[in-house]
């Protein structure tokens, strides 16, 4: 474990799945964590309870709404006097194929997956201490073509570009900006087609060189490393956490 004692962290979309695992790991390493959630208050409370109220608190903000950033930072400023780690994890994780995507769906996904992390990061910069960490959670779909979720893939491609460009801008402050790109992970988002379906699980596992479906902890451990002092000389990187999928 890295030593994040005395550090503060904001993890968006942290009530379930990958975000929860990240929040729990950062807290285990010593950080105090703001557990952002969009609507599932019960899940957010479970995450805070699992971590412990001395290390975590929940903050609600619907990232699809215009006042989301104001709402988020009003609560953060009540608890933190500065920020050390920002993990932009929250995202709408599915989309229609090209022929069936509507303008409403396109706008909604880009609002949550691209606009929200852009303006959350913009607002965070005045609070982020020099030497801080920004970690953006992208996806292996920016490397692997998946036409069935083309809009989602496009949003993650935008996030990749955002990370690399921001790394250049923030380098003089010693702030690193990196992208972590998971593959197929066993979370609630994928539960409907993955869990309890041996054929689907076997097919998903077969795509990975390491021969299994990923777990949230597989991603969280990489994020924890990037957030630690051990990763001080890594920035503008795109880290593949797909288990070697579709090589």
User: Is 152 known to be catalytic?
Assistant: yes
What SS3 class is residue 21? helix
Of 37, 57, 73, 152, the active-site residue reads 152
The alpha helices in the chain, defined as continuous H runs, are 17-28, 41-51, 68-79, 103-110, 116-124, 150-170, 191-194, 198-207, 216-227
The total number of residues shown for the chain amounts to 247
Q: Which long-range contacts (CB under 8 A, 24 or more apart) does 66-75 make?
A: 68/116, 69/116, 69/119, 69/120, 69/123, 72/36, 72/120, 72/123, 73/123, 73/124, 73/127, 75/34
Residues acting as catalytic residues: 152
């Amino acid at each position: 474990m890295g030593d994040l004692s005395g550090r503060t962290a904001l993890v968006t979309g942290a009530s379930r799945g990958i975000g929860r695992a990240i929040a729990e790991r950062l807290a285990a390493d010593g950080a105090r964590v703001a557990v952002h959630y969009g609507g599932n208050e019960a899940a957010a409370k479970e995450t805070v309870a699992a971590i412990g109220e001395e290390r975590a608190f929940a903050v609600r903000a619907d990232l699809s709404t215009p006042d989301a950033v104001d709402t988020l930072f009003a609560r953060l400023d009540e608890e933190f006097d500065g920020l050390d780690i920002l993990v932009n994890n929250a995202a709408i994780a599915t989309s229609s194929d090209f022929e069936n995507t509507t303008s409403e769906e396109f706008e909604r996904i880009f609002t949550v997956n691209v606009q929200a992390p852009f303006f959350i990061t913009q607002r965070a910069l005045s609070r982020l201490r020099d030497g801080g960490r920004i970690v953006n959670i992208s996806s292996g779909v920016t490397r692997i073509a998946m036409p069935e979720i083309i809009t989602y893939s496009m949003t993650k491609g935008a996030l990749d570009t955002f990370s690399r460009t921001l790394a250049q801008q923030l380098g003089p402050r010693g702030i690193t900006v990196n992208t972590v790109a998971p593959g197929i992970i066993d979370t609630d988002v994928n539960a409907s087609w993955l869990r309890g379906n041996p054929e689907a699980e076997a097919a998903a596992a077969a795509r990975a060189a390491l021969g299994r479906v990923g777990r949230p902890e597989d991603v969280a451990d990489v994020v924890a490393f990037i957030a630690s002092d051990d990763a001080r000389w890594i920035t503008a990187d795109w880290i593949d956490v797909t288990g070697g999928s579709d090589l």
